[in-house]
Amino acid sequence: GNVASCLRLWCLVKGPGAPGACLHQPPAQEDADSSQSLVFADLTPAELAQVVRYLQGHLGLPLVDAAWAKPSDNCIASVALQVPAKAEVLRFLDGAGARPPREALAVLYFGAQAEPNVTEYVVGPLPTPVYHRDVTVRRYGGKVPYHRRPTLAVEYKQLAGFLKSQVFPAAPSFMRQVMEYDGGSLAALTAAPRGFRSGDRITWFALFQNVSGFFVHPVGLEVLVDHSSLDISRWAVSRVFYNGQYYRDMVQLESSYVQGRISVQKVRRAPRDGDFSSMKPRAPSAAPFPLQYEPQGPRYSVRNNHVLYQAWSFAFGMSVSTGLRLFDVRHKGERVAYEISIQEAMSVYGSNCPAGMSTRYMDGSFGIGRYSSPLVRGVDCPYLATYLDVHFLAQSQVPQVTKGAICIFEQNVGSPLRRHYSNLQALYYGGLVNSALVLRSIATVGNYDYIWDFVFYQNGAIEGKVQATGYASSSFFYGDGLRYGNRIWEHTLGTIHTHFINYKVDLDVGGRSGSSFTACHCSGEPQCSRGLPPVSGSQAAVLSQRIPPAPAPSHGVWLRIPVELHECRAAPCCCRGWAMLVPCEPSRALLPLSGHGSGCSLGRCEGSAGGVRCY
């Protein structure tokens, strides 16, 4: 079923200004802002191609195009913008430093090395790169084992070929008589993750009728494939599931079927359009839908990757992994957020079938930005919206483009921003039209279409919103299936599931803040001290000063917390704030922490016998 969840970021940084204020900035200011915003701009096709050529010529290793690479090959999985460090960018944006060098982040799969691994390189400076540096260990604390690599599209093709050429022929009677398989009538849908122990690379594949909207046409057959070997010829079936029963492999399934020891549930073959799952309208529209129009043209401007609207300005981009993101968000010229970006969309399923019960999709591993789809004018966005292309390089050595993958438009919210009709004392009416600017992309990741919106309101509020549509994920209905969802067709169980949507929000209201999602690891229990000594080192230490506990509950104690920001490159820079610490047992503490410092806000603190971790 459809879900709609929204994250409302109420940044009421200013009161509403005078009517019509900040509709446009002077041309010189607009040019300066749009030029500065290029520090956040996605890589161009020319830059992407340059990075590929550089890697091909400077790594000293053969690189196979990821579009047809075998697991045992080396290939470029993706190339994208390496966003510069926040401190460098802010110095540049605020006129105190030079423009940071433009760099790319390249993710490579090294399957042809003695120890296969995933390696990340920063390549620069663009447009003519002359260096690359391995950042894998710094980012992940060590080498990334090869089995952890996200699955390439070509590996799915290889798995489909394995099912067709090796798996299905092992049960010819069952596949022909029960599945009515003709070589192309079944579609496989992957589960995830690929195992539950470190080192696993085994995947359940559920089989569906290969028709429009196949996600809701399960046939009851699921196959667990071990594809951990880099040699495709050594892939094997680990388990088979059909109509509530597990089998060792397809040979055992075939034997049980021939001997009449299987409870068969034949599924009526669906037409090519999917019948009930077809997206074709069931009836013509009675009349044209209403349209919105702009009497004097758009009241916003888009230049490069920079948008101006009323009192708002911001830069935007599209991460190939995580999707739409905003940078340097300003209201009336004042920066209120350094970054607001999508981070992950996760869905956790339940079922009485193995593929469904084991599925925990993390769509960032598939590529939320990569699977952003072209937007249909008048349906996905208004006709008069501004449509922008997205360029990316993923699972190929050739840059690709998704036409019209981002739209920008202003819409009438449909209710007044404020109004009053006076019928006491004096008779008068006052009201303001409420409109908002929308930045939108839609990512189709498997069965779900996620509609991602960032909405900018006149009253200084920003809204991050996601709506999920598309198709439900389903399992074959049998036995106690109603404990795990709802029956939506004769043999189709719409499975219970939960969506988790994650955003990164780095607010800079009233000055620069630390990274919203940087963790600081603190050794030892908090210690009380009279002074506030300077903090040094790459990780922050928590030093506390006991204050008379009058403002706090009797079970709490007020602490002054200095924290070193991770973005600091030279001298220590600390933000100091107040927090209330609620102690628990010394051996195992869970310590709620709320910051009230100048530009510093900590979310929570966890403590144990081994130390304290601050988030």
Q: Exactly one of 33, 42, 73, 363 is catalytic; which is it?
A: 363
3-state secondary structure of 417: coil
Which conformational region is residue 140 in: left (phi greater than 0), alpha (psi within -120 to 50 degrees), or beta? alpha
d(CA 314, CA 250): 56
Pick the closest to residue 2 from 471, 408, 512 (CA basis): 471
d(CA 122, CA 133): 5
Q: Exactly one of 242, 300, 448, 484 is catalytic; which is it?
A: 448
Residue 383: exposure state from Cβ atoms within 10 A (0-12, 13-18, ≥19): exposed
Which residues, 6 or more positions from 269, have their beta carbon under 8 angstroms from its beta carbon? 180, 185, 209
Check: CB of residue 61 under 8 Å from CB of residue 75: no
Active site residue 448: yes
Which residues, 6 or more positions from 438, have their beta carbon under 8 angstroms from its beta carbon? 407, 408, 409, 410, 411, 453, 454, 455, 456
Which residues, 6 or more positions from 585, have their beta carbon under 8 angstroms from its beta carbon? none
d(CA 70, CA 107): 16
d(CA 157, CA 69): 11
Active site residue 363: yes
**Token digits for 135?**
């950042």
Check: CB of residue 132 under 8 Å from CB of residue 55: yes
Distances (CA, A) of 296 to 144, 293, 300, 496: 55, 9, 11, 48
Quick one: which H or E segment has residue 376? Answer: none
3-state secondary structure of 432: strand
Check: CB of residue 87 under 8 Å from CB of residue 567: yes
d(CA 139, CA 330): 30
d(CA 368, CA 76): 18
Pick the closest to residue 438 from 460, 470, 462, 471 (CA basis): 462
Check: CB of residue 542 under 8 Å from CB of residue 522: yes
Angle at CA 148, nearest 5°, toward 197 and 357?
50
d(CA 216, CA 33): 48
CA dihedral 593, 598, 599, 603 (to 10 degrees): 0
d(CA 303, CA 370): 23
Residues marked active site are found at: 363, 448
